[in-house]
């Protein structure tokens, strides 16, 4: 088998509940075809009713065409799924959580003879307390580079500055750094001087109505009256598919291009 000179990777923003999973089923195959995608990585921490991941929701994402799943702070919301994190090599939790917790924050998979490294980190600004993502990230990237130069990094963080700082920090050592968590896609896709593609936040895949995927009523109640109501995923209205696609030189790991995908008004 001849190893290709490039690999094209599609990263999908936070998949929000059943609307997000349904959107994957309806639109991911076409996106793979249109953009000649070799591999798909999706953030699944909100896939199970907006809070966490389950075996069945992960299986739905894989069946829709996702090859690898990253996550974030909500990965612990479904207690019964925690043990699964030790059993799977296709689902990550942020690497800078305490090492005694289930799962792993770094992994690899192979498509068309190309090994792709994936690293999942979580920010510390306005986020739960975790270890230094820069120190942890540097150590794990150094390990991955002994395996492959093609490395994708999902930075699950609130602050845009922290995500961009991570992109600059890893520029030249990884192929793509992209942000998740805010559910709002940014328009700053670029390739840094060292050859690393970057996007501050890839956005959300799921309901366009509501507030970042949740029904408006409970969110407004919290903001206007400081009353904490249980949030529920917005089930009605139009949907959106947010992603980014990058083509990477296999030999060097440098990104050759990056393109945002933001499909709105989907049925």
> Which residue do the tokens 């840094």 mark?
192
Active-site residue 36, yes or no? no
Percentage above 90 pLDDT, the chain: 97
- At 65 the pLDDT is 98
Burial class (CB in 10 A: 0-12, 13-18, 19+), 26: middle
Q: What is 163-230 written as a DSSP string?
A: HHHHHHHHBTTBSEEEEESS----S--EE-TTS-EEES---EEEESSSBTTB-HHHHHHHHHH---PP
Question: Could you tell me the pTM of the whole model?
Answer: 0.97
Answer whether residue 228 shows pLDDT above 90: no
Question: How many other CB atoms are there within 10 angstroms of residue 187's CB atom?
Answer: 9
Average of per-residue pLDDT across 168-182: 98
- The CA distance from 76 to 85, in Å, is 10
- At 220 the pLDDT is 93
- At 221 the pLDDT is 92
pLDDT band at 181 (very low <50, low <70, confident <90, very high): very high
Average of per-residue pLDDT across 41-56: 97
pLDDT band at 126 (very low <50, low <70, confident <90, very high): very high
- The one catalytic residue among 74, 156, 181, 183: 74
- The CA distance from 70 to 41, in Å, is 7
Residue 192 tokens read as: 């840094």
Percentage above 70 pLDDT, the chain: 100
């Amino acid at each position: 088998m001849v190893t290709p000179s490039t690999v094209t990777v599609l990263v999908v923003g936070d998949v929000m509940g059943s609307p997000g999973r349904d959107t994957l089923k309806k639109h991911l195959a076409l996106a793979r075809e249109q953009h000649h995608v070799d591999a798909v990585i999706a953030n699944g921490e909100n896939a199970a009713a907006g809070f966490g991941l389950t075996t069945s929701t992960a299986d739905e994402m894989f069946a829709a065409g996702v090859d690898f799943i990253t996550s974030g702070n909500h990965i612990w919301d479904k207690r019964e799924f925690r043990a699964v994190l030790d059993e799977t090599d296709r689902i990550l939790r942020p690497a800078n959580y305490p090492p005694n917790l289930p799962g792993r924050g770094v992994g690899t998979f192979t498509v068309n003879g190309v090994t792709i490294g994936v690293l999942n980190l979580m920010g510390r600004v306005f986020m739960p307390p975790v270890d230094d993502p820069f120190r942890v990230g540097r150590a794990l990237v150094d390990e991955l580079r002994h395996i492959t130069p093609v490395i994708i990094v999902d930075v699950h963080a609130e602050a845009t500055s922290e995500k961009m700082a991570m992109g600059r920090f890893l520029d030249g050592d990884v192929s793509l750094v992209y942000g998740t968590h805010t559910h709002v896609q940014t328009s700053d896709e670029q390739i840094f001087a060292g050859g690393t593609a970057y996007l501050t936040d890839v956005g959300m895949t799921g309901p366009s109505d509501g507030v970042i995927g949740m029904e408006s009523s409970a969110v407004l109640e919290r903001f206007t009256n400081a009353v904490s109501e249980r949030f529920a995923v917005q089930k009605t209205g139009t949907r959106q598919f947010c992603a980014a696609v990058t083509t990477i030189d296999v030999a060097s790991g440098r990104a050759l291009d990056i393109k945002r995908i933001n499909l709105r008004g989907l049925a």
